[in-house]
A and B are shown apart, each in its own frame.
Chain A
Amino acid sequence: MTLLTIKKPTVEYIRPPFTEAHITIIEGDMRSGKTCTATARVVDAYFKDCFRVYCKIKYKIDCEVKKYDKSSRMAVISYKGQKKLLRVPVDYKMWSPMPIFCNYHLFGVPFHYIPSFGIALDWIKKGTIRNAYLVLDEAYVGLSARGSMMELGRAFASTYHQFAKMQLDTIIITPMARQIDWIARTIPTEHIHCSYNSKTYKISLSIRKRGMQGEQIVEYDARQYWKYYKTGEIVTQ
Protein backbone atom coordinates (compact mmCIF):
# COMPACT_ATOMS: atom_id res chain seq x y z
CA MET A 1 0.00 0.00 0.00
CA THR A 2 1.33 3.44 -0.84
CA LEU A 3 0.30 6.92 0.13
CA LEU A 4 0.75 9.26 -2.76
CA THR A 5 0.72 13.01 -2.62
CA ILE A 6 -1.12 14.30 -5.62
CA LYS A 7 -0.35 17.78 -6.84
CA LYS A 8 -3.04 20.46 -6.79
CA PRO A 9 -5.26 19.79 -9.79
CA THR A 10 -4.86 21.91 -12.86
CA VAL A 11 -8.34 20.92 -14.00
CA GLU A 12 -11.05 21.44 -11.43
CA TYR A 13 -13.94 19.14 -10.65
CA ILE A 14 -16.85 21.52 -11.10
CA ARG A 15 -20.42 20.41 -11.45
CA PRO A 16 -23.51 22.56 -11.82
CA PRO A 17 -25.61 22.82 -8.64
CA PHE A 18 -27.74 19.73 -8.11
CA THR A 19 -31.40 20.13 -8.98
CA GLU A 20 -32.17 17.06 -6.85
CA ALA A 21 -30.42 15.00 -4.22
CA HIS A 22 -28.22 12.18 -5.50
CA ILE A 23 -28.61 9.65 -2.71
CA THR A 24 -28.66 5.96 -3.48
CA ILE A 25 -29.38 3.16 -1.08
CA ILE A 26 -28.16 -0.29 -2.09
CA GLU A 27 -29.79 -3.28 -0.45
CA GLY A 28 -29.37 -7.01 -0.82
CA ASP A 29 -28.47 -10.19 1.01
CA MET A 30 -24.91 -11.06 1.94
CA ARG A 31 -22.79 -11.71 -1.19
CA SER A 32 -25.38 -10.17 -3.48
CA GLY A 33 -23.01 -7.62 -5.04
CA LYS A 34 -23.83 -4.47 -3.07
CA THR A 35 -20.24 -3.28 -2.63
CA CYS A 36 -19.42 -4.27 -6.21
CA THR A 37 -22.32 -2.14 -7.46
CA ALA A 38 -21.26 0.87 -5.39
CA THR A 39 -17.66 0.43 -6.59
CA ALA A 40 -18.85 0.11 -10.18
CA ARG A 41 -20.85 3.33 -9.92
CA VAL A 42 -17.84 5.23 -8.56
CA VAL A 43 -15.26 3.68 -10.88
CA ASP A 44 -17.37 4.31 -14.00
CA ALA A 45 -17.97 7.93 -12.98
CA TYR A 46 -14.27 8.37 -12.21
CA PHE A 47 -13.04 7.08 -15.57
CA LYS A 48 -15.61 9.13 -17.45
CA ASP A 49 -14.32 12.17 -15.63
CA CYS A 50 -10.74 11.13 -16.44
CA PHE A 51 -11.68 11.27 -20.10
CA ARG A 52 -13.25 14.70 -19.64
CA VAL A 53 -9.96 15.85 -18.10
CA TYR A 54 -8.01 14.32 -20.99
CA CYS A 55 -10.13 16.25 -23.52
CA LYS A 56 -9.69 19.43 -21.49
CA ILE A 57 -5.89 19.07 -21.37
CA LYS A 58 -5.30 17.68 -24.85
CA TYR A 59 -7.96 19.42 -26.97
CA LYS A 60 -8.86 22.32 -24.63
CA ILE A 61 -12.55 21.51 -24.87
CA ASP A 62 -15.29 21.06 -22.27
CA CYS A 63 -17.18 18.02 -23.42
CA GLU A 64 -19.60 15.54 -21.97
CA VAL A 65 -18.41 11.94 -21.92
CA LYS A 66 -21.29 9.71 -22.90
CA LYS A 67 -19.54 6.35 -22.81
CA TYR A 68 -16.09 5.08 -21.89
CA ASP A 69 -14.70 1.62 -22.50
CA LYS A 70 -11.79 0.90 -20.15
CA SER A 71 -10.32 -2.02 -22.09
CA SER A 72 -10.08 -0.24 -25.44
CA ARG A 73 -9.59 3.21 -23.81
CA MET A 74 -12.16 4.63 -26.23
CA ALA A 75 -14.95 7.04 -25.43
CA VAL A 76 -17.95 8.64 -27.05
CA ILE A 77 -18.08 12.32 -26.27
CA SER A 78 -20.68 14.94 -26.96
CA TYR A 79 -19.28 18.32 -27.98
CA LYS A 80 -21.31 21.21 -29.41
CA GLY A 81 -24.20 18.86 -30.17
CA GLN A 82 -22.05 16.39 -32.08
CA LYS A 83 -20.96 12.95 -30.96
CA LYS A 84 -17.35 11.93 -31.50
CA LEU A 85 -15.37 8.76 -30.88
CA LEU A 86 -11.93 9.28 -29.31
CA ARG A 87 -9.19 7.06 -27.94
CA VAL A 88 -6.75 7.80 -25.11
CA PRO A 89 -3.11 6.90 -25.85
CA VAL A 90 -1.81 3.93 -23.85
CA ASP A 91 0.97 6.01 -22.26
CA TYR A 92 -1.46 8.62 -20.89
CA LYS A 93 -2.09 8.12 -17.16
CA MET A 94 -5.80 8.48 -16.56
CA TRP A 95 -6.40 11.00 -13.81
CA SER A 96 -9.26 13.09 -12.53
CA PRO A 97 -9.67 15.53 -9.64
CA MET A 98 -13.03 13.90 -8.77
CA PRO A 99 -12.93 13.41 -4.99
CA ILE A 100 -14.06 10.04 -3.71
CA PHE A 101 -14.62 9.44 0.00
CA CYS A 102 -15.06 5.81 0.89
CA ASN A 103 -15.04 3.74 4.07
CA TYR A 104 -13.41 0.75 2.40
CA HIS A 105 -10.29 0.62 0.26
CA LEU A 106 -10.47 1.15 -3.47
CA PHE A 107 -7.75 -0.06 -5.84
CA GLY A 108 -6.85 1.60 -9.12
CA VAL A 109 -8.60 4.87 -8.36
CA PRO A 110 -7.42 7.59 -5.96
CA PHE A 111 -9.68 8.10 -2.97
CA HIS A 112 -9.92 9.42 0.58
CA TYR A 113 -10.28 6.62 3.09
CA ILE A 114 -12.83 7.20 5.85
CA PRO A 115 -11.63 5.22 8.89
CA SER A 116 -14.88 5.54 10.85
CA PHE A 117 -18.38 7.00 10.69
CA GLY A 118 -17.41 9.53 13.37
CA ILE A 119 -14.68 10.89 11.14
CA ALA A 120 -17.05 10.94 8.16
CA LEU A 121 -19.37 13.15 10.21
CA ASP A 122 -16.48 15.43 11.22
CA TRP A 123 -15.42 15.82 7.61
CA ILE A 124 -18.99 16.54 6.53
CA LYS A 125 -19.34 19.20 9.22
CA LYS A 126 -15.90 20.70 8.56
CA GLY A 127 -16.69 21.01 4.86
CA THR A 128 -13.98 18.58 3.78
CA ILE A 129 -16.50 16.32 2.07
CA ARG A 130 -18.03 18.55 -0.59
CA ASN A 131 -18.76 18.13 -4.29
CA ALA A 132 -17.69 14.51 -4.14
CA TYR A 133 -18.70 10.87 -4.16
CA LEU A 134 -19.37 9.54 -0.66
CA VAL A 135 -19.66 5.78 -0.23
CA LEU A 136 -20.70 4.32 3.12
CA ASP A 137 -20.46 0.54 3.18
CA GLU A 138 -22.12 -1.45 5.98
CA ALA A 139 -24.03 1.70 6.89
CA TYR A 140 -25.83 -0.05 9.75
CA VAL A 141 -22.54 0.05 11.69
CA GLY A 142 -22.53 3.82 12.06
CA LEU A 143 -26.09 4.77 11.11
CA SER A 144 -27.72 1.98 13.07
CA ALA A 145 -31.47 2.16 13.65
CA ARG A 146 -30.91 1.13 17.27
CA GLY A 147 -28.31 3.85 17.81
CA SER A 148 -30.28 6.58 16.09
CA MET A 149 -30.88 8.42 19.39
CA MET A 150 -27.21 8.28 20.39
CA GLU A 151 -24.91 11.22 19.82
CA LEU A 152 -23.54 10.06 16.46
CA GLY A 153 -26.99 9.11 15.16
CA ARG A 154 -28.50 12.47 16.09
CA ALA A 155 -25.55 14.38 14.66
CA PHE A 156 -25.82 12.49 11.36
CA ALA A 157 -29.58 13.04 11.27
CA SER A 158 -29.01 16.79 11.25
CA THR A 159 -26.95 16.57 8.06
CA TYR A 160 -28.83 14.09 5.84
CA HIS A 161 -31.17 16.59 4.25
CA GLN A 162 -28.32 18.87 3.24
CA PHE A 163 -26.41 16.32 1.18
CA ALA A 164 -27.76 17.87 -2.04
CA LYS A 165 -26.54 21.31 -1.00
CA MET A 166 -23.13 19.76 -0.35
CA GLN A 167 -23.14 18.39 -3.93
CA LEU A 168 -22.66 14.86 -2.67
CA ASP A 169 -23.32 11.76 -4.71
CA THR A 170 -23.98 9.53 -1.73
CA ILE A 171 -24.19 5.75 -1.80
CA ILE A 172 -25.42 4.01 1.35
CA ILE A 173 -24.94 0.25 1.47
CA THR A 174 -26.91 -1.90 3.89
CA PRO A 175 -28.32 -5.45 3.76
CA MET A 176 -31.74 -4.15 4.73
CA ALA A 177 -32.99 -0.56 4.92
CA ARG A 178 -34.73 -1.38 8.20
CA GLN A 179 -31.32 -1.68 9.87
CA ILE A 180 -30.37 1.97 9.39
CA ASP A 181 -31.64 5.15 11.01
CA TRP A 182 -35.19 5.95 9.90
CA ILE A 183 -34.33 9.46 8.69
CA ALA A 184 -31.56 7.97 6.54
CA ARG A 185 -34.21 5.70 5.06
CA THR A 186 -36.30 8.66 3.92
CA ILE A 187 -33.60 10.54 2.00
CA PRO A 188 -32.60 8.20 -0.86
CA THR A 189 -33.75 9.29 -4.29
CA GLU A 190 -32.74 5.98 -5.79
CA HIS A 191 -33.25 2.52 -4.39
CA ILE A 192 -31.25 -0.42 -5.73
CA HIS A 193 -31.79 -4.06 -4.87
CA CYS A 194 -29.03 -6.50 -5.85
CA SER A 195 -28.82 -10.19 -6.52
CA TYR A 196 -25.82 -12.21 -7.73
CA ASN A 197 -25.69 -15.28 -9.92
CA SER A 198 -22.50 -17.18 -9.10
CA LYS A 199 -22.75 -19.32 -12.24
CA THR A 200 -22.82 -16.44 -14.71
CA TYR A 201 -20.96 -13.94 -12.46
CA LYS A 202 -23.72 -11.46 -13.20
CA ILE A 203 -25.25 -9.03 -10.78
CA SER A 204 -28.87 -8.08 -11.40
CA LEU A 205 -30.11 -4.75 -10.16
CA SER A 206 -33.64 -3.62 -9.68
CA ILE A 207 -33.50 0.19 -9.67
CA ARG A 208 -36.38 2.33 -8.49
CA LYS A 209 -36.16 6.10 -8.68
CA ARG A 210 -38.15 8.56 -6.61
CA GLY A 211 -40.92 10.19 -8.61
CA MET A 212 -40.83 7.57 -11.35
CA GLN A 213 -43.20 4.66 -11.59
CA GLY A 214 -41.89 1.18 -12.27
CA GLU A 215 -38.36 -0.06 -12.19
CA GLN A 216 -35.29 -0.54 -14.32
CA ILE A 217 -33.77 -4.02 -14.43
CA VAL A 218 -30.05 -3.90 -15.18
CA GLU A 219 -27.56 -6.73 -15.41
CA TYR A 220 -23.76 -6.48 -15.55
CA ASP A 221 -20.73 -8.73 -15.20
CA ALA A 222 -19.22 -8.41 -11.73
CA ARG A 223 -15.76 -9.73 -12.70
CA GLN A 224 -14.70 -6.50 -14.40
CA TYR A 225 -14.91 -4.65 -11.05
CA TRP A 226 -13.27 -7.20 -8.71
CA LYS A 227 -9.86 -5.58 -9.12
CA TYR A 228 -11.12 -2.27 -7.70
CA TYR A 229 -12.03 -3.46 -4.18
CA LYS A 230 -11.51 -6.26 -1.68
CA THR A 231 -14.66 -8.20 -1.11
CA GLY A 232 -13.53 -9.41 2.33
CA GLU A 233 -12.76 -6.00 3.84
CA ILE A 234 -14.54 -5.56 7.14
CA VAL A 235 -16.05 -2.29 8.36
CA THR A 236 -16.09 -2.18 12.14
CA GLN A 237 -16.49 1.45 13.18
Chain B
Amino acid sequence: MADDKEPLEVMEEVDSNNILEYDEREVGIDDLGGMKSLADAEDETPHQSDLQSVLKSLSPKFKNNRMNELLQPVMVSRIFPDNYLDLNYLLVMSMIEELEEDSDVDIVGIITGVQVGTSIGYEGRGIADRLEIAGVAQEQELEKMTKELGLS
Protein backbone atom coordinates (compact mmCIF):
# COMPACT_ATOMS: atom_id res chain seq x y z
CA MET B 1 0.00 0.00 0.00
CA ALA B 2 1.38 3.33 -1.03
CA ASP B 3 0.09 5.09 2.11
CA ASP B 4 2.36 3.09 4.46
CA LYS B 5 5.59 3.72 2.60
CA GLU B 6 8.25 6.30 3.14
CA PRO B 7 8.43 8.98 0.41
CA LEU B 8 11.81 7.70 -0.77
CA GLU B 9 10.47 4.20 -1.35
CA VAL B 10 7.56 5.60 -3.34
CA MET B 11 9.95 7.60 -5.52
CA GLU B 12 11.98 4.50 -6.31
CA GLU B 13 8.79 2.72 -7.25
CA VAL B 14 7.90 5.38 -9.78
CA ASP B 15 11.34 5.19 -11.31
CA SER B 16 11.03 1.46 -11.72
CA ASN B 17 7.70 1.87 -13.48
CA ASN B 18 5.51 0.51 -10.72
CA ILE B 19 2.03 1.83 -10.96
CA LEU B 20 -0.92 1.61 -8.61
CA GLU B 21 -4.03 0.04 -10.03
CA TYR B 22 -7.21 -0.55 -8.08
CA ASP B 23 -10.48 -2.01 -9.29
CA GLU B 24 -13.30 0.37 -10.01
CA ARG B 25 -15.26 1.19 -6.85
CA GLU B 26 -18.69 -0.24 -6.16
CA VAL B 27 -20.97 2.77 -5.95
CA GLY B 28 -24.30 0.99 -5.99
CA ILE B 29 -25.38 2.30 -9.36
CA ASP B 30 -26.31 -0.04 -12.19
CA ASP B 31 -25.06 0.42 -15.72
CA LEU B 32 -25.41 4.04 -16.72
CA GLY B 33 -25.11 3.43 -20.44
CA GLY B 34 -26.11 6.11 -22.89
CA MET B 35 -24.74 8.98 -20.83
CA LYS B 36 -22.55 11.50 -22.50
CA SER B 37 -19.00 11.52 -21.16
CA LEU B 38 -17.43 14.84 -20.27
CA ALA B 39 -15.16 14.63 -23.33
CA ASP B 40 -18.16 14.13 -25.64
CA ALA B 41 -20.15 16.89 -23.95
CA GLU B 42 -17.22 19.27 -24.42
CA ASP B 43 -16.77 18.29 -28.08
CA GLU B 44 -20.43 18.79 -28.83
CA THR B 45 -20.86 22.17 -27.13
CA PRO B 46 -19.73 25.18 -29.12
CA HIS B 47 -17.44 27.72 -27.54
CA GLN B 48 -19.28 30.93 -28.28
CA SER B 49 -18.03 34.39 -27.68
CA ASP B 50 -20.42 36.76 -25.93
CA LEU B 51 -20.86 38.57 -29.24
CA GLN B 52 -21.75 35.35 -31.08
CA SER B 53 -24.31 34.41 -28.42
CA VAL B 54 -26.00 37.79 -28.59
CA LEU B 55 -26.03 37.84 -32.38
CA LYS B 56 -27.57 34.38 -32.44
CA SER B 57 -30.40 35.49 -30.21
CA LEU B 58 -30.87 38.65 -32.30
CA SER B 59 -31.39 36.59 -35.48
CA PRO B 60 -33.86 33.86 -34.60
CA LYS B 61 -34.14 30.90 -36.95
CA PHE B 62 -37.58 29.63 -37.91
CA LYS B 63 -38.62 26.02 -38.45
CA ASN B 64 -40.23 26.80 -41.78
CA ASN B 65 -37.66 27.33 -44.55
CA ARG B 66 -39.88 29.76 -46.45
CA MET B 67 -40.21 31.91 -43.33
CA ASN B 68 -36.43 31.93 -42.99
CA GLU B 69 -36.02 32.98 -46.63
CA LEU B 70 -38.39 35.90 -46.21
CA LEU B 71 -37.64 37.02 -42.66
CA GLN B 72 -33.82 36.77 -42.43
CA PRO B 73 -33.36 39.77 -44.82
CA VAL B 74 -36.29 41.58 -43.18
CA MET B 75 -34.49 41.48 -39.83
CA VAL B 76 -31.49 43.37 -41.22
CA SER B 77 -33.51 45.75 -43.37
CA ARG B 78 -35.15 49.08 -42.57
CA ILE B 79 -38.92 48.88 -42.38
CA PHE B 80 -40.55 52.27 -42.46
CA PRO B 81 -43.45 52.82 -40.01
CA ASP B 82 -45.88 53.50 -42.87
CA ASN B 83 -45.10 50.11 -44.41
CA TYR B 84 -44.97 48.08 -41.21
CA LEU B 85 -48.59 46.86 -41.01
CA ASP B 86 -48.87 46.31 -44.77
CA LEU B 87 -45.68 44.28 -44.82
CA ASN B 88 -46.89 42.20 -41.88
CA TYR B 89 -50.19 41.53 -43.63
CA LEU B 90 -48.52 40.65 -46.95
CA LEU B 91 -46.01 38.27 -45.39
CA VAL B 92 -48.62 36.47 -43.29
CA MET B 93 -51.07 36.13 -46.19
CA SER B 94 -48.38 34.95 -48.56
CA MET B 95 -47.24 32.24 -46.18
CA ILE B 96 -50.74 31.07 -45.36
CA GLU B 97 -51.60 30.91 -49.06
CA GLU B 98 -48.51 28.83 -49.74
CA LEU B 99 -49.54 26.35 -47.08
CA GLU B 100 -53.23 26.47 -47.98
CA GLU B 101 -53.34 22.86 -49.13
CA ASP B 102 -51.79 21.52 -45.95
CA SER B 103 -54.28 20.18 -43.47
CA ASP B 104 -52.28 21.38 -40.49
CA VAL B 105 -51.42 25.09 -40.89
CA ASP B 106 -50.08 26.83 -37.80
CA ILE B 107 -51.68 30.25 -38.22
CA VAL B 108 -50.62 31.57 -34.82
CA GLY B 109 -47.04 30.37 -35.44
CA ILE B 110 -46.90 32.23 -38.77
CA ILE B 111 -48.36 35.47 -37.39
CA THR B 112 -46.04 35.41 -34.37
CA GLY B 113 -42.97 34.60 -36.47
CA VAL B 114 -43.68 37.39 -38.91
CA GLN B 115 -44.35 39.81 -36.06
CA VAL B 116 -40.99 38.86 -34.43
CA GLY B 117 -39.08 39.27 -37.69
CA THR B 118 -40.62 42.57 -38.72
CA SER B 119 -40.33 44.09 -35.24
CA ILE B 120 -36.55 43.39 -35.30
CA GLY B 121 -36.27 45.18 -38.64
CA TYR B 122 -38.58 48.05 -37.65
CA GLU B 123 -36.84 51.35 -38.44
CA GLY B 124 -33.55 49.47 -38.86
CA ARG B 125 -33.33 48.52 -35.15
CA GLY B 126 -31.82 45.15 -36.06
CA ILE B 127 -28.84 46.75 -37.82
CA ALA B 128 -28.44 49.39 -35.10
CA ASP B 129 -28.40 46.75 -32.33
CA ARG B 130 -25.76 44.67 -34.13
CA LEU B 131 -23.52 47.66 -34.74
CA GLU B 132 -23.86 48.80 -31.13
CA ILE B 133 -22.90 45.37 -29.80
CA ALA B 134 -19.98 45.08 -32.22
CA GLY B 135 -18.77 48.51 -31.08
CA VAL B 136 -18.97 47.57 -27.39
CA ALA B 137 -17.09 44.31 -28.06
CA GLN B 138 -14.37 46.19 -29.91
CA GLU B 139 -14.07 48.77 -27.13
CA GLN B 140 -13.72 46.01 -24.55
CA GLU B 141 -11.03 44.33 -26.63
CA LEU B 142 -9.14 47.60 -27.01
CA GLU B 143 -9.42 48.26 -23.27
CA LYS B 144 -8.08 44.77 -22.52
CA MET B 145 -5.16 45.23 -24.92
CA THR B 146 -4.36 48.61 -23.37
CA LYS B 147 -4.27 47.04 -19.92
CA GLU B 148 -2.12 44.13 -21.09
CA LEU B 149 0.38 46.54 -22.64
CA GLY B 150 0.43 48.59 -19.43
CA LEU B 151 -0.78 51.73 -21.20
CA SER B 152 -3.56 52.55 -18.72
Contacts and interface: CB of A to CB of B under 8 A. Distances in A.
Interface of A: 1-6, 8, 37, 40-41, 44-45, 48, 66-72, 105-113, 115-116, 118-119, 122-123, 126, 128, 207, 209, 212-221, 223-230
Contacts of A2: 21-22
Contact of A113 (B20, B38, B48, B141): B20
Contacts of A119: 7, 10-11
Contacts of B19: 4-6, 110-112
Contact of B32 (A5, A216, A224): A224
Nearest to A214: B49
Interface of B: 1-3, 7, 10-11, 13-15, 17-27, 29, 31-43, 45-53, 137, 141
The majority secondary structure among interface residues of chain A is: mixed
Contact of A214 (B15, B27, B47): B47
A6 B18 contact: yes
Contact of A220 (B11, B27, B41, B141): B41
Contacts of A108: 22-25
Contact of A226 (B15, B18, B29, B50): B29
Contacts of A70: 37
Contacts of A105: 20, 22
A226 B26 CA distance: 9
Contact of B38 (A41, A116, A227): A41
A123 to B, nearest CB: 7
16 contacts: A1-B1, A1-B2, A44-B37, A68-B37, A107-B23, A108-B25, A118-B7, A119-B7, A119-B11, A215-B47, A220-B35, A220-B37, A223-B32, A224-B35, A225-B38, A226-B25
